[in-house]
A and B are shown apart, each in its own frame.
Chain A
Amino acid sequence: MPTRAIPFAFLARDVQNCLSMPNRPCSAICPSPARRRGGGTYTAGLLAIWCAVLTGAALLFASSGAYAQQRPGTAVTGRVHDAVSGAPIRGAEVAVEGRGIRAVSDTAGRYRLAGVPAGTQILVIRRIGYTLVRVSVLVPAQGTMTRDVALAVTALDLPEITVTAEPAARARGELGTASVIDQDAIANQTASSLLGVLELVPGIPLQPPGLGTPQQFAIRTVPTTTSIGLTTGGPSAADIASFGTAIVLDGVPLSNNANLQTLGPRGELALSSTAGGGIDLRQIPAATIQRVEVIRGVPSARYGDLTQGVVVVETRAGVVPPVLRGSFDANTLEGSFVWGRAFGNGHAVTLDADLAHTQIQPGILNDDAWRFTGQLAHHTRFGRRAPDDGGLALDTRVRFFQVLQDNPEQPEVEPGRASSNHDYGLRVAERAVVGREGGSRLTVTAALDAVRRESASQQYLVRGATPITDRLTEGRQEGRYVVGSYLASARLDGEEWNLFSRIEGEHPFAWLGFEHRPVAGLELRRDWNTGAGYQFDIEFPPQVTFNGVQGFDRPRRFDSLPPLVTSALYLDDHFHRQFGSVGLALQLGLRLDVLHEEGWFSGARDALLEPRVNAELAPWPWFRLRAGWGRTAKAPGLAQLYPEPQYFDVVNVNYFANDPAERLAILTTFVRDPTNGALGFSTGEKAEAGFEIANARGDAAFGLVAFRDRTTDGVGYRSEPTFVPRDRFTLDTTVAGQPPVVIEPPAATDTMPILIDRPDNVVTLENEGIEGTLVLPEIRPLRLTLAVQGAWISTRFFQDGPDFGRSFSDFQLDPTIPRAPYWDGVERTGTRALLTYRLIYHQPRLGLVVSGVVEHRVKETLEDIAATDTLAFNGYVTRTGQLVPVPPEERGDPQYADLRVPRSGAFLLPTETPPDWMLSVQVSKTLPLDGVLRFSAFNVLDRLGRLGERSQRTFPRLRFGIEVSMPLAGILPVGYRGP
């Protein structure tokens, strides 16, 4: 196994020395390469560190608030008025996002914000009965600036509306590159789920709406070819990237770590599942999302269990005017409802529900998908003060979802073939925030996620005369034959559980002229799975690749697996200072992720210390230089930590006579456990640098960022050669009408080479590229705005370890072949350059927004890089599974003539797809009674895509539909009269 560099080992040693634990190995925190995984017990040490940091955080929180409200900075004043009538609006809350600075407008609509830091800031204006408004402003270094703000019931009536990711925004509390997508932009997207919203991220291709297939999202990655055809399977680049993209929903991460809904590498039946990949985003409907932050750069230390980045999703909660929404297209019908009302004593209850149905292939198959989600949110505040002013608030979320996908049998098309995947989820999350005057706050979060997954698949399999055994333990026994066609079916019933808890303290203060907002926290996570597991009738096994050595799977219960337990400790400080007109902001973070053996109080299986740094220098308020570097860690999934045993059923006797009574099959079953006790974290290393330019009004911006993300030690399957013995027997076939008699002892015994697919940290994923966004100011006379975003991304994906190719199967079965070659793994690469132009026409007097989106595929390449000539082999494997390397200079020697064979497998020659483009449009228009009608057409010209010499791009087909949203504020009360 390869070793890797240890980050910041000196820090770990310092911590160890400081805590005076000479008898506790510090490698629990930052282990040496050799000891890092599968180490001993470090419970006391870890607990001591946690307690120390927690105590520090509590002391920070409890210390007197020396951080006064009198911040240096600029005053921002203005007037809040109605966009249609021009009347002043009283009681609107105006806040500087992420700064804890807020004010309420007076009877004349006037507001004043003091101490606003220079540079680009986001003002957030709220008032019940009006749509939430976010305004980007460029705050000068000193003095006072004026910014009037218009509110409207419908965003389309506002003089300014943002229907793209905000050009200069940051994720809350973050300094790294991020795309912030707010509700207006979400509403303008043709999206059934979160995935459709994420098209506003640079480099992400547009996708048609629908729920037909599982939806995953990966940051800054080009999907490459998969390993099918080269090895027995394994993750793809997209799997690794989406697995390493964290999805945080309402402050609590979603977890796919315990998803076991896969049939394994040798399964023939198909299931729709995201096991081994990222979260299935179908469970998050776009209609209920308030805001999305996609942190593409280096996230703060608050975020863990990731390698690529973070998607932070905030659903609608609090006092929300009731809205009923329905959408319709040729494939999908969806309805949603959201309503939040206030009650006495600071309570607010929010209900949202969404029901959607998609016909996956209408007209061809009867397959369809249903989704239902519902959430009940309760927010309460004790006393009259908000947490920022020293109050206590509780936020409770109860969320349910179900995604049902059914592909029923169509006897006329293919008798027997059917599959289904039903997911049901329930989440209960509680967040308590207690604040002190001065901005200190302590947040405690606890959440329990339960997801039940029921998957089934069946189809007719056709077999020659194949001996099988149903033995569950090692040993020899008489088998039986399956012949011809039989209906094979498999079922997976699993219940994933995820427990998440976090305690976090935040204490702003000023020191050395810098305004600090340090955050410290402790996270505990536990993922486990229960349920009947992988079940099938062993008489009719669902696998196909049985060759007399590779065995058939066996049923497996999921509740026998140990849990996946992690903990993390982090400290992060976001601080900034103004030096005259020059602004400097830094974010330093340190996170310690620990993968435990079994429980939080057991030993550490792996640990990783992750420093993260982001810096921003603004020589002028309109210009920002930024850079970041950081390390992240992702825990392996439960399926990788505890893989199912591999069965090798060796055929000792295969006597298939015409008379069934005379047949005899004897097989010896060997069981190998592929569990890798040294399996640990995947490591992500992210680096980026860039700049941003914004105009004075804050409605135009240009930004460019270059990045290099590298995931090392990703979890793949290492093919480990070994062997099993095979006894050969002499048979007495003299008695007709009866099976032959086996004559003991075995006449001969030979060795059968086998490969054990052992999960290991052997995969590397490298992404580098450039992302850019450009938003031009509105051309007022024409009411036109142009926004361009683009990305060039190059991906390399490879796996350490030998590749045995397809010829290994022949080598297994033919004892006359003494050895077989092996090669280096294949490097899979992909490049994509994508530009997205959004031309937006906004006419507030008509309540009309028309946006045309051109997706320009500038460059797309795919290539598998591997040596395929006859001298490409690295060595050979013997029949006892030993690897014997052959030096390059000797590979032409006559003694290796049998190894000089063309490498077999499906290799992708370099392909480059011609540049091409596709147009989509959205039109939004207000209706009477403050309703909104939206029409959208994806790939409106129904372009098929240009054909290349060796490549064939096919754009997703034309899709179109309408959506109507109708407020019910006059029917259902919101119970809030305003401040």
Chain B
Amino acid sequence: MRPARAVVLALWLGVGAPSLAAQAGGGSMGTFPSLDPAWARAWSPLAPLADLSRTLPQPPIAPALLIAPAPRVGLLWTAGTPAALGAEASDTRARLGLAGSGEGGDYRRPLDPDDVRSVRFEGAGWGGLGTNGAVVGRVLVGQITMDSASSSNIAAPYVTSPFVPTDTTSPTLRRVAAQLEGGIGGQFGGWGAGLTLGVLVNDDHSREASFPRIGRRSVPGVAAGLSRTLPVADLRLAAYGRWLGGAETLVLPGEPQPGIVHMLDGYSEPDPRAVTRTTPFFYRTDRSAWAGGLAVDGRLAGAVWTLYGERTRRKDAQVTDRQLDAPTDYWEGSGWTWGGALQGSAFGNRVLATVWGRYATLSGNATRADLTGDIVRANENVLDLAADIRYTTPDSSWQIATVGSLRREQRVRQDFIASIGSDVLALTPAVGVEIAHGFGSTAVSLGYGIGGYSAASTLPDPAAMGDVYRRLIGPEQELYARRALPMTASLTVRQHTSARTGLFLATRAYAVSPMGEAAGLTLAPTGSRLALDISLGVVLR
């Protein structure tokens, strides 16, 4: 799609909806975009751990005025610990909906699919249970069709781990995916306890492919926490732990036509591996990540604040043979995550201001079964800052929200086989606005958001690299080295059928295209990328 067309379409649709790509890479772990704002997904036991996935440049997080409630700050909604579930999710809120989305355009990374279409059913909600308890849950089931799916053989190739199996084909791929998560918590005197469980599963298979591809993935997650209210300044202290597993399996039968597999493990040129009917390809990776953290929240001068910090670790193991003591490659990482939020109101609660901050670091190293020592080391850190200020008129007929965000990410990688490294430091400031107006029982909102991505990069010289690097890695590197303009727009209509029930139709668009000259960047993608998402559902309170 031409950049101009994308911009026009985005402008026409209006408002700051969340970036599809951002959400796909974040909260939904590569399955579907979500209508929920980031704070409403903080409790998810499936949120990535010890992994800083790379996404396309993002505009700001959307307020979603007519669908989501006002932002919340707390041990549950900011730090994600289920210890505070009973205290913070005692009101009732639920949403059910059907949605369809499409995404396409040339401005993409080599392991991204070309065109993507999806349909999904989504339900999410929380509510009190008895006098001291609360539950929260979310289910998401749908199907994604990827025309000219990427060379990647795994569902989420842009994670920090360098291990990515690829092949030389790009068939149409059908992915059926489901995500189910829920939690329960309660308050017992000054104590709070909670547990969340979840699983993400997907089943992939190619369609009418001469070199079929069959994959599946299961990502279970669990989190538990304990909180204690302190008799000082409304302070609450929480300790929590999380575990995120994962098993991903790939089978390439190698018939009717043979194919070639490349096991990417950094910047070095991988050996081609022939896959035929008699030598089919089996790949399995088992992932495990842990986190332990402390969080504290309280009130200060009428404002609510939360701070948290957690230690994260990860170990992934991959094999390409199913036998006893099969040679295993490992990716191990560890890091810290620090975050916090502050929320205050003014003018009789007609103005609500919320700011968030999160800083995550990750250091990892990869080893291969057939080599001694590390083959790749990575050091990455990501800083996210965001603000949401919203105003509601006294008669509640108008609402306006402005959002701003800043992302700073630094990714340093050293490949010891290729004896080469890379260093990318990127900044993405963004702003957005959403305006909603009620017409009796009907309300309409328009939103728009725009950001600017820029980076200072030190990259390998493609001319000195192998063919696989130039085809599968280099274009991504150069995409991140070039300036880009991400934008979002949204249009939402909500119809109240009763005091507690509303139907909604939400349309969101996301566009991103490069900016400026691509001096010296021979592999960088051009064109633009556009995504469109339409949801129809019901909100229950």
Contact = CB atoms under 8 A, between A and B. Distances in A.
Contacts of B201: 937, 940, 942, 958, 960
B247 interface: yes
B250 to A, nearest CB: 12
B135 interface: yes
Contacts of B203: 329-330, 958-960
A940 B199 contact: yes
Nearest to A937: B201
A850 to B, nearest CB: 8
A962 B119 CA distance: 14
Which of B182, B218, B253, B322 has the most chain A CB atoms closer than 10 A to its own CB?
B218
Contacts of A52: none
Nearest to A845: B129
A383 interface: no
Interface string A881-925: 000000000000000000000000000000000000000010101
B209 interface: yes
Interface residues of A, number: 36
A670 B120 CA distance: 66
A363 B206 contact: yes
Contact of A957 (B129, B174, B216): B216
A870 interface: no
B245 A410 contact: no
Contact of B249 (A330, A944, A961, A962): A944
B220 A941 contact: yes
B180 A942 contact: no
A927 B95 CA distance: 11
A740 B141 CA distance: 74
B502 to A, nearest CB: 13
A307 B121 CA distance: 48
A412 B205 contact: no
B212 to A, nearest CB: 5
B177 to A, nearest CB: 9
A923 B201 CA distance: 14
A424 B174 CA distance: 32
Contacts of B212: 363-364
B21 interface: no
A937 B178 contact: yes
Contacts of B314: none
A474 B538 CA distance: 78
Interface string B473-514: 000000000000000000000000000000000000000000
A363 B129 contact: no
Interface in B207-240: 207, 209-210, 212-214, 216-218, 220
B527 interface: no
Quick one: which of B129, B203, B247, B255 has the most chain A CB within 10 A? B203
B373 interface: no
A329 B176 contact: yes
Contacts of A959: 203
A363 B210 contact: no
A962 B247 contact: no
A958 B284 CA distance: 13
Interface string A848-864: 10100000000000000
B324 A363 contact: no
Contacts of B249: 942, 944, 957
A958 B322 contact: no
Given A363-B207, A846-B129, A941-B220, A412 B256 contact: yes
Contacts of A923: 139, 180, 182
Contact of A362 (B205, B218, B540): B205
Contacts of B96: 927-928
A364 B284 contact: no
B462 interface: no
Interface in A516-554: none
B131 interface: no
A47 interface: no
A923 B96 CA distance: 16
Interface residues of B, number: 43
A970 to B, nearest CB: 17
B323 interface: yes
A823 interface: no
A396 interface: no
Contacts of B130: 845
A959 B217 CA distance: 10
Contacts of A921: 199
B220 A363 contact: no
B129 A843 contact: yes
Nearest to A957: B216
B198 to A, nearest CB: 11
A600 interface: no
Contact of B218 (A848, A928, A940, A949): A940
Contacts of B176: 329-330
A779 to B, nearest CB: 14
B206 A941 contact: no
A512 interface: no
B257 interface: yes
A439 to B, nearest CB: 47
B123 A933 contact: yes
Contact of B180 (A328, A329, A935): A935
A364 B182 CA distance: 35
Contacts of B257: 412
Given A933-B139, A962-B121, A941 B209 contact: no
B519 to A, nearest CB: 43
Contacts of B174: 362
B426 to A, nearest CB: 35
A724 B220 CA distance: 67
A704 B364 CA distance: 53
A517 B363 CA distance: 77
A84 to B, nearest CB: 16
A944 B199 contact: no
B430 to A, nearest CB: 35
Interface in B174-194: 174, 176, 178, 180, 182
A947 interface: yes
B180 A947 contact: no
B322 A947 contact: yes
Given A330-B203, A843-B129, A947-B323, A941 B121 contact: no
A965 to B, nearest CB: 14
Contact of A364 (B178, B245, B253): B253
A927 B199 CA distance: 21
A971 interface: no
B215 to A, nearest CB: 9
A933 B127 CA distance: 18
A962 B176 CA distance: 11
A413 interface: yes
Contact of B199 (A848, A937, A961): A937
A958 B207 contact: no
Given A410-B256, A935-B139, A942 B247 contact: yes
Interface in A406-426: 410, 412-413
Interface in A939-979: 940-944, 947, 949, 952, 957-962
B131 to A, nearest CB: 12
Interface in B238-271: 245, 247, 249, 253, 255-257
Contact of B178 (A362, A843, A935): A935
Contacts of A944: 249, 284, 322
Interface string A815-849: 00000000000000000000000000001011010
14 contacts: A330-B176, A330-B205, A362-B214, A363-B206, A412-B210, A412-B257, A843-B135, A845-B129, A845-B130, A928-B96, A935-B180, A941-B218, A942-B218, A947-B322
| Closest 5 pairs (CB-CB, A-B) | A363-B205, A412-B256, A330-B203, A330-B176, A942-B218
Given A843-B129, A949-B324, 4 more contacts: A947-B322, A958-B216, A960-B178, A960-B201
Interface of B: 96, 121, 123, 127, 129-130, 135, 137, 139, 141, 174, 176, 178, 180, 182, 199, 201, 203, 205-207, 209-210, 212-214, 216-218, 220, 245, 247, 249, 253, 255-257, 284, 322-324, 538, 540
